[in-house]
Amino acid sequence: MRRPPVSAFTIVEALILLGTISVLIALLLPLLHAGRRNAQKSSNQTQLRGIHRSFVVWTQSSKHPVGPYYPGLNRETGQVIPDGERTGFSGDGTQPAARLAPLIAANFITPDYIINPNDKVKKPIVFDQTPTGTQSYAALTNENYSYSMLALPGSENTKAEWQETLNPAAVVLSDRAIGSGPNDISSVWTDPDSGAWLGGIVRNDNSTSREETHILNDTQYGEGDINPLDDVFADEPDADDGFLVHEDATTAYSAE
């Protein structure tokens, strides 16, 4: 009795199948990449909002009779805190690292929370282990965070926004600017030296948005005038406009 013929793939059929799989992979990979990118963008906005909210909660946890300023300013006088004073951390209150360090030490945020999910350069700080077994965080530097924040002390009107004002026109935090100036500006979301910045910002009412330019419309700080076009990474002398810094009181741009 003859056995029925056994069906099997021919070489041609196998090649067709492999070709179909390759086409599907080619179609799916961009979708997967886009999905991952969108998830990173969403996480980044959440982190920016969370950092700002931590500033607010930090001030509420220890109010003084005069203005509950965010970290970096003396809550009684509104003056920039000198190096190490009242914080125990290196750097005066003009430095973003010295403003973020108290939040981490008090467990308001974690070290990875101040790193943009799409940032390939910055690394979170880690615990230092002493010979006696005591653990503490290593010193926070500008290598350990991705974001920029309002320069201090600034004008009286801009400094007035370094506390909870619920002002939707005052930008206080953002993704950092990379480069040396506006001609080669970029961000972690754009190509290096592209002259294009896009990223997340936080306003002082704790609202966030993704912007396609660093020149923003109609910002306002304190009781100052409305700024129709405000380059938030440019320091305009004697102006009540936004100026966001990354490394210290005057440096808006990071090298990479």
- Give pLDDT tens digits for 20-39: 777 777 776 766 666 677 88
Tokens of residue 141, six digits: 């530097």
- Bond from prior residue into 228 cis (ω within 30 degrees of 0): no
What is residue 34's predicted lDDT score, i.e. its pLDDT? 60
pLDDT (tens digit per residue) in 197-232? 999 999 999 999 999 999 999 999 999 999 999 999
124-161 burial string, b = 16+ CB within 10 Å, else e? bbeeeeeeeeeeebeebebebbbbbbbbbbbbebbbbb
What is residue 132's predicted lDDT score, i.e. its pLDDT? 53
Span between the terminal Cα atoms of the chain, in Å: 77
H-assigned helices in the chain: 11-60, 96-105, 156-159
What is residue 59's predicted lDDT score, i.e. its pLDDT? 86
Are 70 and 163 in contact by the 8 Å Cβ rule? The answer is yes
Using CA atoms, how far residue 167 sits from 86, 171, 203, in Å, is 28, 9, 7
Within 13 Å, how many C-alpha atoms sit on residue 252's CB side? 21
* The pLDDT of residue 116 is above 70: yes
DSSP per-residue string spanning 65-87: SS--BPTTB-TTT-PBPPTTTTT
Mean pLDDT of the 89-97 span: 82
**φ/ψ of residue 39, rounded to 5:** -65, -40
> How far is Cα 218 from Cα 220, in angstroms, rounded to an integer?
7
